[in-house]
Amino acid sequence: MSEKENLPEKALPQNEEKNLDKKVENEKTEEVQPAEHIVEETSEDTSEKVSEKMTEEKSEEKQTDDTAAALVDKAKATGDRKETTDSPSPEAAVESVDEEEDNKPSQEPKTPKDAQSEVDDAVAEDSEDESAGERHGIEKKDYHAMSKEALVDELEKLLKKEKVQAIKEHVEEIRAEFNAKFDEELEEKKEEFLHDGGNIIDFHYSTPLKKHFNSLYFDYKEKRNKYYQQLKQDLTQNLEKRQEIIEELKGLIDVEENINTTYKHFKELQERWKTAGAIPRDKYNNVWNTYHHHVENFYDFLHLNREFRDLDFKHNLEQKLKIISRAEELTQETDINRAFRELQMLHKMWKEDLGPVEKEFREDIWQKFSDATKKIHDKRQEYFEQLEKQYEKNLEKKEEIIGKIREIAETNYTSHKTWQQNIKEVEALREQFFHAGKVPRNVNDQTWKKFKETVRTFNRNKNAFYKNQKKEQYHNLEKKLELVQIAEDNKDSEDFKATTPLMKKIQTDWKKIGHVPRKDSDKIWKRFKAACNHYFDRLHANRSEENKEETEAFEHKKELLDKLKSIELTGDRKEDLPTIKKFIEEWKNLGRVPHNKRYIEGKFNKALDHAFDKLDMDKKQTEMLKYENKVQALEDSDDTRRINNEHYFLTKKIEETKAEIIQLENNLQFFAHVDDNHPMVQEVHKNIDDHKEQLKIWKEKLEKVKGLY
């Protein structure tokens, strides 16, 4: 079996690779000897060409040395790119054209990986898509806290300004947050629709914002699919190129040609390898390990031409030591994600840009690089553990917020004002929830579900309350429509005395009735107001006419009062009494005076008292003559309230007088043993007689008032 057939076709672990190197070296010792003989027997011209070639190679290496710092600077630049909110997981699966969209976070725990495996996977992922590094340069905002409008604006900006392959994580997180918020709104609208008696089959809800978002997301998928279709094709072609290079590299060992020609061919293969382009990430590490293995085999094949080979070894060692130095510096970097991204680039440079070193240094430098890698990896793991602790704190905050919303949702409120206060409170708690930060991925769905269910419970109770409110509002509408009808039926009534109390009453009743549906409120109020205003405008116009007569009556009463005050009575009761009665009768005939002029009635009564005092008349007769004037004033006032008050006053006086009489009669029992001629007994009897006389007057006055009804 030939040596070529013994070489591995797949990637080997690091230790197995080194063991195979030793085995190949031992097995080839004798086979390589002729190659040395060929080199020694070359002609002088050939030696000159080799010398020229080596000079040329040294020049190239010098140029490479000059750009070594640039390579490390490239890695630094990658690490310096703006930090995103969350670095993409290095375990992320390969995105294919036909992948199924899934916005839910994985509920399965990740399998722990060692440092080297994680870096290898990350390098493979970035190597598949050469723009992968650009993803780290796009700021990932707190999409969870954004409104639907802000999310749409952010999606539109990303599609306009960024490459489609660099925004997948941003777009999917925006989509998940937008859909969650829209679904919440959709549920509210659905419940309102069903509460209003709608059929679920007829329910459909969308908004211009939702349509705009769907259009943007469709554009994104179209662009992304086109990109990945082309990328998949390019990756496959590039893989075939690299596999062809590996096959040519394997064949260099068995080819029988001038060693200088072979070395030149090898350098050409290296250049072709560097420019071969990206390949599928799941093939990357396997293909690279195989390539690297055969590169080392080729250098071992050249071990007889030490100067020629050692130039490359020296150059590669110097560059790898620089990479190790930079990796060790990164172990002190405080920005963990930045350090890890730069470490990825260092590993990629180690693999892509540099070849092997002498065997005696291979294990040592690789171990140093691995140690630095492990330190960065461990710090990164610690960083993510701290993040998880913060996520746990955020979870506690969100659980507390959910508890507060649940407490509000489970309370039965009975007034519109209270519901409005709690609607604002729940809205504030919702905002706090959205700004509370991320929670552990394995409880994210569960927490979001609890939040939605709690808010939904509150909305259901709110909708149920307002549904009952609507029923009550329609009942109130019926009541107010009845009052509107009464107002419109009586707005042209001429019976002001009977209609005015009715119109005032329906206005009072209107205020006592609660809210009606908003769509009917203004309409029925305008009808009711118009009818009431029409009536009271007519009433005021009528009263204005009446006031003219009342003013005239007041002027006449003033003149009559002056006459009564200035009259000279003869002192003869029979002659003076008709004169006084004539004054009273004339006063009554003059009619009502304006409300603000009614004080003149009191002045007239005082004048009558003064006149009656000059007459020797029975107290009851005098009292009733004066009261006739008051009764007339009550009748003229047309004020039911005043008449009722007078009725109540007289009834009360009658009851009080009866009680006084009973009390006085009871007191006489204490004087049963005393002679009736005793002054004290006589005083009690006199009081009883006076109260009985007064009782007759009160009763007679009450009869007069009753006659007014």
Q: What is the pLDDT of residues 419-472, one digit of tens each?
A: 889 889 998 998 888 888 888 888 888 888 888 888 888 888 888 887 777 778
Q: What is the pLDDT of residue 398?
A: 92
For residues 387 and 378, give the distance between their C-alpha atoms in angstroms, rounded to a whole number.
Answer: 14
CA distances in angstroms from 545 to 122, 289, 594, 639, listed in the order given: 101, 116, 12, 18
Q: Residue 533: its pLDDT value, please?
A: 92
Same structural domain for residues 421 and 354?
no
Task: Looking at the structure, tell me whether residues 334 and 414 fall in a common domain.
Answer: no
Same domain for 378 and 295: yes
Q: Is residue 165 part of a domain?
A: no
For the chain, the domain total comes to: 3
Q: In this structure, is residue 109 part of a structural domain? A: yes
CA distance 145 to 177: 9
CA separation (Å) from 296 to 25, 289, 446, 485, 626? Answer: 11, 11, 53, 105, 140
- Looking at 322, 356, 389, the residue that finishes a domain is 389
Q: Concatenate the DSSP letters of all residues of 174-207 into one string.
A: HHHHHHHHHHHHHHHHHHHHHHTT--GGG-----
Q: Rounded to whole angstroms, how far apart are CA atoms 683 and 680?
A: 5
| pLDDT value of residue 308 | 62
The answer to whether residues 105 and 445 touch, using CB atoms and an 8 Å cutoff, is yes
Q: Which domain holds residue 429?
A: 392-472
> Do 40 and 109 belong to one domain?
yes
Per-residue tokens: 562: 């002056």
Residue 571 falls in which region: left (phi positive, over 0), alpha (psi -120 to 50) or beta: left
Q: Which conformational region is residue 197 in: left (phi greater than 0), alpha (psi within -120 to 50 degrees), or beta? A: left
- What torsion, rounded to 10 degrees, do the Cα atoms 631, 635, 637, 643 define? 70
Say if residues 695 and 658 touch (Cβ distance below 8 Å): yes
Number of Cβ within a 10 Å radius of residue 52: 11
Kindly give the parts of the chain with pLDDT less than 70: 1-115, 118-137, 195-197, 255-257, 302-308, 544-546, 571, 616-621, 629, 633, 636-639, 672
Answer yes or no: do 345 and 308 share one domain. yes
Gap between the Cα atoms of 458 and 404, Å rounded:
11
- Counting every residue written for the chain, the total comes to 709
> Do residues 250 and 367 share a domain?
yes
pLDDT tens column, 587-636 = 878 877 777 787 888 888 888 777 777 776 666 667 777 777 677 767 76
User: What's the pLDDT tens digit per position in 92-133?
Assistant: 332 333 333 333 333 333 444 566 776 666 666 666 665 554
Asked if 294 and 14 touch (Cβ cutoff 8 Å), the reply is no
Q: What integer pLDDT is reported at residue 97 of this predicted model?
A: 30
User: Is 27 part of a structural domain of the chain?
Assistant: yes
**Helix, strand, coil content of the chain in percent (nearest 5):** 80, 0, 20
Cβ-contact 647, 615 below 8 angstroms: no
Assessment of whether the complete model's pTM goes beyond 0.75: no
- Report yes or no: 105 and 169 within 8 Å, Cβ to Cβ: no
Query: Do 345 and 361 share a structural domain?
Result: yes
Residue 280's pLDDT is what? 85
| 332 assigned to some structural domain | yes
Please give the Cα distance from 388 to 373 (Å, whole number). Answer: 22
Identify the residue whose tokens are 């002054």: 679
Structure confidence at residue 401 (pLDDT): 92
Instruction: Please tell me whether residues 449 and 385 are part of one structural domain.
Output: no
CA distance 598 to 596: 6
The C-alpha atoms of residue 697 and residue 704 are separated, in whole angstroms, by: 11
Is 298 part of any domain? yes
* Whether 329 and 451 share a structural domain: no
User: What residues contact residue 491 under an 8 Å CB cut-off, 6+ apart?
Assistant: 531, 532, 534, 535, 538
Q: Is residue 185 part of a domain?
A: no
**384 and 397: one domain?**
no
Alpha helices in 495-618 (DSSP H): 496-512, 518-566, 573-589, 599-613
Q: Is residue 186 part of a domain?
A: no
- pLDDT value of position 127: 62
Based on the domain organization, do 334 and 430 belong to the same domain?
no
Residue with tokens 């004169």: 579
At 483 the pLDDT is 92
Domain boundary among 412, 437, 472: 472
Answer whether residue 210 is part of any domain. Answer: no
Q: Which of 389, 405, 422 is the last residue of a domain?
A: 389
CB 654 within 8 A of CB 698: yes
On the 0-12 / 13-18 / 19+ scale of CB atoms within 10 A, 530 is middle
Residue labelled with tokens 């569960």: 446
- Chain center to CA of 674: 95
* Three-state SS letters, 641-654: HHHHHHHHHHHHHH
Same domain flag for 292 and 248:
yes
CB of 554 within 8 A of CB of 587? no
